Structure 1
Amino acid sequence: MPLHSSLSLPREGFTIDVLGRILKHTALNPVITLPLLLLARFTQKGQGLTGAHPKLLKHVKTLLYLGLADRISAWLDRNAANNWTRDDTWDWTETGNELVVVTGGSDGIGKEIVLQLAARGIRVAVLDIQAPTWADDATDNLPTVHYSHCDLSSPPSIDAALADVRTHFAGREPTVLINNAGVCFGKPLLESSPHLVRKTFAVNTLAHFDLAQRLLPSMVARDHGMVVTVASQAAFVAAPLLADYAASKAAALALHEALAAELATVYNAPRVRTVAVCQNYTRTRLFEGFKEGDGWVNYTLHPQTVAEAVVGKVLEGSSGLVVLPAAGWWVSAKVRGWPLWMQVGLRKRCVELMQGWRGRVVEQGREEEEDGAEKEGEEKAA
Structure 2
Amino acid sequence: MNLDRGDWLLYPLLFWSSCFTSEVVRPLIKQTVLDPALTLIDTKKGLDLAVLHETAFSRIQKLFYFGLVRWVSGYLDRGVLDNWTSGNFKWNQEIVLLTGGAGGIVGGVVKLLSGKGIKVVVIDVIPMTFETASNIHYYKCDITCPAAIASVAAQIRKDVGEPTILINNAGVCRGKMILEASEKDIRFTFEVNILAHYWMAREFVPDMAKENHGMIVTVSSFAAFLSVPDMVDYDASKAAAHAFHEGLAVELKCRYNAPKVRTVVVNQGYTKTALFEGYKNDSNGQLIIPGFSSTLTLLRGMPHWYQNTICALGKDLMSTSKGRQVIDVEKWKPSNERKDGELSE
22-31 vs 120-129, which moves further: 22-31
- Structure 2: distance between partners of 1:127 and 1:78: 32
- Structure 1: distance between partners of 2:189 and 2:314: 20
Q: Contact 2:225–2:299 at 8 Å: present in 1 too? A: yes
Structure 1 residue 254, shift from structure 2 partner:
0.4
Render the CA deviation track for 1:136-163: whole Å, top value 9, x for unaligned.
xxxx3x1111000011112222122212
2:330 is aligned with 1:368: yes
AA aligned to 1:116 is: L
Structure 1 residue 119, shift from structure 2 partner:
0.3
2:53 is aligned with 1:53: yes
- Structure 2: distance between partners of 1:120 and 1:50: 50
- What does residue 297 of structure 1 align with? none
- Structure 2: distance between partners of 1:225 and 1:359: 33
Residue ranges of structure 2 left out of the alignment (5+ in a row): 1-15, 334-345
Alignment of 1:1-382 (within 5 A): 13-34=19-40, 37-39=41-43, 42-43=44-45, 46-47=47-48, 49-88=49-88, 90-93=89-92, 96=93, 98-135=94-131, 140=132, 142-169=133-160, 172-282=161-271, 302-304=272-274, 306-309=275-278, 312=279, 315-330=280-295, 332-364=296-328, 367-369=329-331
- Structure 2: distance between partners of 1:100 and 1:11: 31
AA aligned to 1:38 is: D
Structure 1 residue 11, shift from structure 2 partner:
11
- Structure 1: distance between partners of 2:190 and 2:157: 27
- Structure 1: distance between partners of 2:291 and 2:226: 16
**Cα 1:122–1:370, aligned 2, differ >3 Å: closer, same or farther?**
closer
Q: Give me the TM-score of the superposition, normalised by structure 2.
A: 0.88
- Structure 1: distance between partners of 2:245 and 2:290: 20
- Structure 1: distance between partners of 2:330 and 2:164: 32
SS state at 1:333 partner: helix
Q: Give me the TM-score of the superposition, normalised by structure 1.
A: 0.79
- Structure 2: distance between partners of 1:161 and 1:186: 30
- What does residue 342 of structure 2 align with? none
- Structure 1: distance between partners of 2:18 and 2:119: 30
AA aligned to 1:181 is: A
- Structure 2: distance between partners of 1:217 and 1:60: 51
Render the CA deviation track for 1:101-137: whole Å, top value 9, x for unaligned.
10011112321111111001111110101111123xx
Structure 1 residue 370, shift from structure 2 partner:
5.5
Structure with greater helix share of residues: 1
Q: Contact 2:172–2:324 at 8 Å: present in 1 too? A: no
Q: Contact 2:175–2:231 at 8 Å: present in 1 too? A: yes
- Structure 2: distance between partners of 1:147 and 1:272: 25
SS state at 2:325 partner: coil
SS state at 2:116 partner: coil
Q: Contact 2:174–2:322 at 8 Å: present in 1 too? A: no
AA aligned to 2:316 is: E
72-81 vs 208-217, which moves further: 72-81
Q: Name the Cα RMSD after superposition.
A: 1.9
SS state at 1:323 partner: strand
- Structure 2: distance between partners of 1:116 and 1:236: 29
Structure 1 residue 197, shift from structure 2 partner:
0.4
Q: Could you tell me the percent identity over the aligned residues?
A: 40
Render the CA deviation track for 1:235-276: whole Å, top value 9, x for unaligned.
010111110000000001101000100011011111111000
AA aligned to 2:294 is: W
- Structure 1: distance between partners of 2:18 and 2:158: 41
Q: Contact 1:109–1:307 at 8 Å: present in 2 too? A: no
Q: Contact 2:172–2:323 at 8 Å: present in 1 too? A: no
